[in-house]
Structure 1
Amino acid sequence: MSSDAPVGARPPAGKTFFGHPRALSTLFLTEMWERFSFYGMRAILVLYLTAAVADGGLDLGESSANAVYGTYNAMVYLMALPGGWVADRLIGARRSVLWGGVVIAAGHYVMAIPTGWSVFAGMALIVLGTGLLKPNISTMVGDLYERDSPRRDAGFSIFYMGINLGAFIAPLITGFLGEKINWHLGFGAAAVGMTFGVLQYVLGRRNLGDAGARPADPLLGADRRRALTRAGVASVVVLTAGLVLLLAGWFTVDTVVNLLTVVTVLVTVGYFARILTDREISGTERSRMKAYVWLFLFAASFWLIYDQAGSVLNIFAADRTDRSVGGFTFPASWLQSVNPVLIIIGAPLAAALWLKLGHRVSTPAKFAVGLVLNGLSFVLMAAAARAAVGGDLVSPLWLVAVYAIQVAGELSLSPVGLSATTKLAPVKYASQMLGLWFLATAVGDAIGGQVARLADTWSQPVYFLTFGLASVVLGLAAVMFTRQIRQLMAGIH
């Protein structure tokens, strides 16, 4: 047994996973299958929503479908906040991951039911389950190592590969089943994948030792009863509001999407206001949080464009690209597998580059690079859309090139932002800042879903060029204000 593993993990002697605690294999496979289900369903969601009823779809307009997709992604990341709280204060990370996986699988099975309502009910369950699983499984990986263990980063790197492996395989399977046979069969494949994840997690629990077995800061006695009562009241309020909307005839897809977008933004504003007005944090910590506000806005702007890969770009792949190879027309959703492959290839290269550059390139400058590259990807999409004007089909290599530029931007911003989040966090809010980082994606996706409505009314070249140039300009502005942001960071690079 490695001396690097904490006493709580207790991996069996002689059994390792790539030289790491055996428990890492259990968490690796759980995350792989969860990402399989998530990206598998997501790859065909918009295509199903916009498909004609005669083709088994819902025949939803592209603008509404894009907004649904963006809001769904936003809710997944927003629910990481209460999901982390449930684990820390009530049931622990281990049971949160288990119940999260069960609820996710149930959501996918509901989506596999061939009815019109099943997709929305299933997505609601998946959002709740992912909120429990996603933040807490990463916590459990960290529990397998001492905080200063040199093998900790390597363990997370292996775990990260599981994410992208699942994301790569999923669209190839669910896309073929959904687009070529039946949409609900594709959703069912995602359900089976998550079921595999839950089963192997249960069977591998003996490897986990004490990792995630107990809440980090449990609520006891009256405090616990008070928290559960508040949660119950909040649930009743939400259900009552939904019933009122339904009875009033206002419970439409667009109404719910718009409401959830507003909620996402308000939660974010409230969260930042709470931290910045807290008198218990020091002046230096407050200054660093002001810098973080700018990084947060840059990140949200990045995800606003980047996560349209599964909506606007996915529809472009279905309608405007020539996907015929040797007489076989491959599913549009297969192009969703390009992104994870490029990340697997590029992640070690980006890590080596940042290590070589050291502190010569600051965190704000890296964010600026990400924004500029993201914008250039949409400028290239404008050229692809221009080539497709008049109904001509273009090569799917246009999209491959777009995804390659976006991945380069992601590797400049996403891992750097995660690191900056931990470094800029006030001591009092250290454990909550990861949830705040997830909120950047939630805000970007929620607003991006609304912005994507314009893709159905503007000409596509104008749409892509407008937002591409906007991202480039924002990235250049970030470069101009790098010095001021670094001053607010107070010694953090």
Structure 2
Amino acid sequence: MDSKERDAILKTVPQKGFFGHPKGLSTLFFTEFWERFSYYGMRAILLYYMYYEITEGGLGLDRTTANSIMAIYGSLVYMSGIIGGWIADRLLGMNRTVFYGGVLIMIGHIILSLPGGFTALLLSMLFIIIGTGLLKPNVGGMVGELYSKTDSRRDSGFSIYYMGINMGGFISPLIVGTIGQEYSFHLGFSLAAVGMFAGLVVYLFTRKKNMGLAGMQVPNPLSATEKGSIARRFLFGGVAIAAFLWLGFSGGWLTIERVIFFISISGVIIPAIYIFVMYRSKKTTDDERSRLLAYIPLFFAAMMFWAIQEQGSNILATYANERTQLSFLGFELKSSWFQSLNPLFIVALAPVFAWLWVKLGDRQPSTPQKFSLGLIFAGLSFIIMVFPAIFNGTESLVSPLWLVASFFLVVIGELLLSPVGLSASTKLAPAAFAAQMMSLWNLSNASAQAINAQVVRFYSVETEAIYFGAIGGFAILLGICLLFLAPKLKKYMRGIN
């Protein structure tokens, strides 16, 4: 998309109407609020559903296997953004792709609300993985289309959008988690389906008025010949994958553990291929290539950050259920409620960070500097979890305040890195790969969780001090290295801060 086309789109978007930001931000804010309500509500109880005994309403899986499946599920959810970015860039545009993604997510939650056992779990995962891949990168991409690349409100807008995501994430574990753990996991999953339906209603009734032409264009459309060829490849690939899985599982040589290992490897290889293809494309200019090179260290920093942050719903969720006192000041707690801590702190602190970036204007830290600080805070959030084992040992339950402190530290890191990373991805993106660059950003999370699927196997009560200390220490070291590289990376960004 050239500058004239971008300017024409911006003229169709009301530039005021939502806290001094474009009116379309409200549509995307509330759409993501409800989508995240559904996703985080489901995620708050999914791990427990997998490893609770059948007599407790769960599936009775081994806990280590459940932790690995949880990580791989999260990895595939973000990895599927490749599909969503490609479809938006070449077939439908971001606007329509978001809607179809929401429909698939809702179907997935409906399936999960039915008592279909492990088969229903896998089928629901398939729908949610594909649906989130269609929706997630393109909602973020459309936020970027509401602003010019030089608009000083841009980072602030992403912070407000990020607050909407986390408001939904805060409420859902309290509601879905309580219903799921107190009454029925399937009833909890049904509430997640209702949440996604609400998001679709908001999107349908407000997008035309508030969004204008944002997200309607197809930046790099397929020709008629290419469409036929791609359709045949997808059909052949789908049949081949289905046949492979059927033969593998029925023959007994394809196990869950082997699938998890394959996905873990893919999580590292796919983003490398993705960056290489964009860098070598004839549609990428020299300036855009330079910006892609600057993006690579940021991508690795984001991987390390998400490897820690995403364990909040995995290892720390297990820690909350098994190692934490679930009573505090006379109140009885649910282990799923701890999943509300991360979004709660983000909702509280996001306006502060949004105000700070606007206040500082051109004097704010560069993108690489923000990334490095975010990574250091993430490392500290794991370092602090070493102390309960040192002070109390591993045989007694610990105060819930340790988890509160850990989530608080990682949220400071998240607000330094995540909304800034979204904004940087839209600013550093080659024009021909606008939506796919958002998919690449989501791949940093997918890669982290793919690696986590192997890393979480090393966690146990006996090794928790070493586990938290080693991961946290490595993150801090990587953050310091990035801080020293920041001035050089800024040069490679060619005028983008």
TM-score by length of 1: 0.89
What is the match of residue 4 of structure 2?
Answer: none
- 2:128 alignment partner, SS class: helix
The separation in 1 between residues aligned to 2:12 and 2:495, in whole angstroms, is: 35
The separation in 1 between residues aligned to 2:481 and 2:13, in whole angstroms, is: 47
1:86 aligns with 2:87: yes
1:137 aligns with 2:139: yes
The separation in 1 between residues aligned to 2:286 and 2:222, in whole angstroms, is: 30
- Change in Cα spacing, 1:22 to 1:299, as seen in structure 2 (3 Å) is closer
Match of 2:451 among 447, 452, 465: 447
1:256 aligns with 2:259: yes
The separation in 2 between residues aligned to 1:491 and 1:321, in whole angstroms, is: 48
5+ residue gaps, structure 1, are none
What is the match of residue 106 of structure 1?
Answer: 107
What is the match of residue 403 of structure 2?
Answer: 399
> Which amino acid letter does the alignment assign opposite residue 337 of structure 1?
S
1:329 aligns with 2:328: no
1:38 aligns with 2:42: no
> Which amino acid letter does the alignment assign opposite residue 42 of structure 1?
R
TM superposition shift of 1:42:
1.0
Deviation string, structure 1 residues 188-238 (Cα, Å, up to 9, x no partner): 111111122223433445535544445344324222222222222222222
> Which amino acid letter does the alignment assign opposite residue 392 of structure 1?
S
Deviation string, structure 1 residues 156-194 (Cα, Å, up to 9, x no partner): 554333211101110001110111111111111111111
**Percent identity of equivalent pairs:** 42
The separation in 2 between residues aligned to 1:16 and 1:276, in whole angstroms, is: 38
- Contact 1:10 1:210 survives alignment (8 Å): no
What is the match of residue 179 of structure 2?
Answer: 177
Match of 2:293 among 272, 276, 290: 290
Moved more, 118-127 or 476-485: 476-485
TM superposition shift of 1:277:
4.2
What pairs with 1:285-434 in structure 2 (closer than 5 Å)?
A: 285-325=288-328, 328-354=331-357, 356=360, 358=362, 361-434=365-438
The separation in 1 between residues aligned to 2:216 and 2:242, in whole angstroms, is: 32
Match of 1:126 among 103, 125, 128: 128
Deviation string, structure 1 residues 328-374 (Cα, Å, up to 9, x no partner): 52211111111112112222333444553855744333322222221
- 2:393 alignment partner, SS class: coil
- Contact 1:5 1:21 survives alignment (8 Å): no
Deviation string, structure 1 residues 301-344 (Cα, Å, up to 9, x no partner): 11111110000001111111112246652211111111112112
TM superposition shift of 1:136:
2.1
Moved more, 80-89 or 288-297: 288-297
> Which amino acid letter does the alignment assign opposite residue 373 of structure 2?
V
- Change in Cα spacing, 1:71 to 1:103, as seen in structure 2 (3 Å) is same
- Contact 1:83 1:131 survives alignment (8 Å): yes
Question: How many residue pairs align between the two structures?
Answer: 488
The separation in 2 between residues aligned to 1:483 and 1:143, in whole angstroms, is: 28
The separation in 1 between residues aligned to 2:59 and 2:368, in whole angstroms, is: 43
The separation in 2 between residues aligned to 1:316 and 1:464, in whole angstroms, is: 12
TM superposition shift of 1:290:
3.0
What is the match of residue 165 of structure 2?
Answer: 163
TM superposition shift of 1:413:
1.9
- Change in Cα spacing, 1:46 to 1:419, as seen in structure 2 (3 Å) is same
> Which amino acid letter does the alignment assign opposite residue 176 of structure 2?
T
TM superposition shift of 1:393:
1.7
- 1:432 alignment partner, SS class: helix
Moved more, 392-401 or 409-418: 409-418
What pairs with 1:271-282 in structure 2 (closer than 5 Å)?
A: 271-278=274-281, 281=284
- Contact 1:83 1:135 survives alignment (8 Å): yes
The separation in 1 between residues aligned to 2:116 and 2:438, in whole angstroms, is: 37
The separation in 2 between residues aligned to 1:18 and 1:353, in whole angstroms, is: 15
What is the match of residue 3 of structure 2?
Answer: none
The separation in 1 between residues aligned to 2:368 and 2:99, in whole angstroms, is: 38
> Which amino acid letter does the alignment assign opposite residue 437 of structure 2?
M
Deviation string, structure 1 residues 98-128 (Cα, Å, up to 9, x no partner): 2211110110111111232222211111011
Moved more, 23-32 or 448-457: 23-32
The separation in 2 between residues aligned to 1:255 and 1:286, in whole angstroms, is: 37
What is the match of residue 68 of structure 1?
Answer: 69
The separation in 1 between residues aligned to 2:495 and 2:206, in whole angstroms, is: 44
- Change in Cα spacing, 1:368 to 1:130, as seen in structure 2 (3 Å) is same
What is the match of residue 272 of structure 2?
Answer: 269
- Change in Cα spacing, 1:196 to 1:240, as seen in structure 2 (3 Å) is same
- Contact 2:105 2:196 survives alignment (8 Å): yes
- 1:303 alignment partner, SS class: helix
The separation in 2 between residues aligned to 1:287 and 1:211, in whole angstroms, is: 27
> Which amino acid letter does the alignment assign opposite residue 461 of structure 1?
A
